[in-house]
């Protein structure tokens, strides 16, 4: 079975890394992908999707060091749905992209493409 996501987009805000346990950093990045397409009338249209991309461990550390608002990223991962209880006590579910590979794209101050 295959559950694969490939995204290239721009980060919406500086990631906040938190530590679940002593050596378990994690962060969730907001990534925007924009696509241009031609509609039925022949006009150019644009659509932007915002994705929640979850990074763990080494990837979260990479984000802490090198990912900021505006960074262009390549992300490879899988879709995962999790349930949580919101502040009014209602059960909710959210689907996120759990990253397995992250590459920094474009030019950035300390160019460290890993």
Partner 1 sequence: MINKVILVGNVGGDPDVRTLENNVKVATVSLATSERYTDSNKQKQERTTWHRVVLWRNLAEVVEKYVHKGSQLYIEGRISNRQYKDKDGNDRYAMEIVANDMKLLGKRDDNSGTTNHNTDVSPIGTVPPPSVDEMPADDLPF
- Nearest CB to partner 1, comparing residues 10 and 26: 10
6 near partner 1, rule: CB under 8 A: yes
Give the Cα separation of 80 and 55 in Å (integer). Answer: 12
User: Among residues 65, 68, 69, 78, which is the contact residue for partner 1, using CB under 8 A?
Assistant: 78
Scanning 12-20, 60-68, 79-87, 106-114 for contacts with partner 1 by CB under 8 A, the matching segment is 79-87
5 near partner 1, rule: CB under 8 A: yes
């Amino acid at each position: 079975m295959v559950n694969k996501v490939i995204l290239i987009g721009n980060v919406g805000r500086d990631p906040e890394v938190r530590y679940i346990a002593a050596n378990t950093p994690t962060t969730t990045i907001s990534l925007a992908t924009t696509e241009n397409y031609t509609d039925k009338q022949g006009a150019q249209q644009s659509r932007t999707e915002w994705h929640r991309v979850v990074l763990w461990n080494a990837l979260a550390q990479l984000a802490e060091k090198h990912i900021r608002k505006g960074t262009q990223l390549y992300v490879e991962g899988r879709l995962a749905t999790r349930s949580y209880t919101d502040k009014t006590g209602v059960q909710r579910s959210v689907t996120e992209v759990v990253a397995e590979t992250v590459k920094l794209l474009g030019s950035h101050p300390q160019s460290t493409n890993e």
